[in-house]
Amino acid sequence: MTQTRDETLRLEMLVTEHERLLEQFSELLQDQQSQIDRLKHKLERLEQRLSESDEPGTDLSADEPPPHY
């Protein structure tokens, strides 16, 4: 009887540990997805800016410091 109880306790501890790990992984995935979303947005802005710089009459070099910096 004690062996069954010990085995049950061990299994409960494993389940608890797995639940904790799953929660950590879930949080990590959420953080990574947020970072991906931010980077995608930044990339879209950079692509937009690049396409605007290809248009005649657009000079983005005013944003850049002079070469002697």
What's the confidence (pLDDT) of residue 59? 58
Rounded to whole angstroms, how far apart are CA atoms 17 and 25? 12
What's the confidence (pLDDT) of residue 60? 54
Torsion of CA 59, 62, 67, 69, to 10 degrees: -160
What's the confidence (pLDDT) of residue 44? 97
For residues 37-49, average pLDDT:
97
- Mean model confidence pLDDT for the chain: 89
Q: Which element (helix H / strand E) includes 43?
A: helix 2-53
Instruction: Give pTM, 2 decimals.
Output: 0.61
CB neighbour list of residue 60: distance below 8 Å, 6 or more residues apart: 49, 52, 53
More confident residue, 29 or 64: 29
